Each structure stands twice: as C-alpha cells, then as structure tokens.
Amino acid sequence: MTHLLATLSTGRAFLIGIAVGIGVLVLIGALGVGLRRSREAPKLDIPGAMRPGPSDADLEKPVLEKLIGWALVFTVFMALWVPVFNWLPETQNNLNDTKASLAESVLRGHETTLPGTQQNPLGFNCQRCHGQNLHGGFNVYNGTLVPVPNLQTVCGGAKYNHPLIKSLQDIIQTISEGRTGTDMPSWSVRFAGAMDDQQINDLVNYILSIQKVPTKDNVCLKA
C-alpha cells in the first residue's frame, strides 16, 4: 500500500512538473509577443482608397510594366478566344440553326394540313380533300366525285401521275394560285386566299418531308 501511494505521488508530481513547464513556456511566449509589439509602431487602419498611391518611380516602371504585362495576356486571350469559340464553330452552328428552323417549319406545315381547332389555330384542314397525311383520295366537286392527287408522290412529276408538276416552283404556284376549273382553290393572300407566304413555305416544306419518290425521280430537287 505504501509502495502504491509512493508511486501515485511520484506520478502526480511528474504531471504537475509538466503542467508547470508548459505554463512557463506559454508565459515566456506571451511576454515575447508583447515586447515585440511594444517595439513596433502602431499601424493606422486606413482604408485602401485613402492610402497614398504608388510613387512616380513605381508608376514609371514596375507598375507600368505589370499593367502592360496583364494587357498583353488579356489581348492574347481574346485573340485566341474569338476565332476558337466564335469563328471556327460558326459553320456548324449555322447548320444546326438551319436544321432546327426547318424542323419547326415542317411541324407548322403538318399542323396546317390538320383541322383548325382551339388547340391548333394553324389548321386549314388540307386532309379533308387530300386524305390523312396527304396520301390522296376523292372529293365531291360540282356534284361529281373527283380524284384528289397523292401529295406524297407529287415530286415525282408525270412519272407518278402529276403531269403538271415539273419543278418545285410548280407545287408552290399550284398551292398559291390554285387550278381554275378544278376543286383546288387558291391559298395565297396574293390570289384571294387565306395563307401568307410563311404558311405556304411551311406547307411546302412539310410536303417535301413526306415524299416517297426516289431521289433520281424527284423533280423538286432539280434546279
């Protein structure tokens, strides 16, 4: 028991010695910092905007050189940025924009062929005569049942039973002016119709998109 008490007393004394040593070191460090601060001149907390500017010598060489260096860096950066991120991808961007515009035009043209409703104000109901997806059919004209051409093959010309179609312009003209003496009315506002140029252009783009005519027979692709 006496040996155990002696061991505990020795351990406690050792811990107390370490604590005292740490305390002395902290005190010496605090005194050193205090003495150092007392020797330094107090710093005034002056806002950056109110501090004196660079000297003339600094302005004439070091500061000027630094400004010129940064100006050169930004100039080179912009000289590389403009062609890399603007000129080089411009062709592809234009192609993507053209494809997107054409897709939107085809969609509007398709909506033009559907019945006009509250949900589809663009509809002129072309399919009433030309059938669903404009595949052709029959219509009653002056009390007579007449065949209506299949517009999915209209670009085939005479070879596909469209003898009056020899080019894309013939399709545009037929839609715009209609055909006298037939059940095909004029649709362009230029000829007392109801469609403007954009609507006719959209309709033509849709008709071109649904063609089932081989490329070699497609008169719409010829100049």
> Could you tell me if 219 and 165 are in contact, meaning their C-beta atoms sit under 8 angstroms apart?
yes
pTM of the predicted model as reported, rounded to 2 decimal places:
0.65
> Could you tell me if 107 and 118 are in contact, meaning their C-beta atoms sit under 8 angstroms apart?
no
Distance of CA 132 to the CA centre of its chain: 34
- The two tokens of residue 209 are 């998109």
Instruction: Report the alpha-carbon distance of residue 210 to residue 133 in Å, rounded.
Output: 8
pLDDT value of position 48: 72
- C-alpha distances out from residue 134 to 107, 173, 208, 214, Å: 14, 18, 12, 18
Instruction: Report the alpha-carbon distance of residue 65 to residue 121 in Å, rounded.
Output: 66
Domains of the chain: 103-221 (1.10.760.10)
DSSP string, the chain: -HHHHHHHHHHHHHHHHHHHHHHHHHHHHHHHHHHHHHHSPPPP---GGGS----HHHHHTHHHHHHHHHHHHHHHHHHHHHIIIIITTHHHHHHHHHHHHHHHHHHHHHHHHSPP-SS-TT---THHHH-GGG--EEEEETTEEEEE--GGGGGGGGGGT-TT--SHHHHHHHHHH--TTSS----BGGGT-SB-HHHHHHHHHHHHHT--S-GGG-GGG--
- What is the share, in percent, of the chain residues with pLDDT greater than 70? 79
Instruction: Report the alpha-carbon distance of residue 157 to residue 211 in Å, rounded.
Output: 12
Residues of the chain with pLDDT under 70: 1-27, 29-44, 58-59, 223
- C-alpha distances out from residue 7 to 13, 14, 19, 176, Å: 10, 11, 19, 114
pLDDT value of position 14: 55
Torsion-angle region of 180 (φ positive above 0: left; ψ -120 to 50: alpha; else: beta): beta
pLDDT value of position 32: 62
pLDDT value of position 23: 62
**pLDDT tens digits, residue range 129-184?**
999 999 998 999 999 999 999 999 999 999 999 999 999 999 999 999 999 999 99
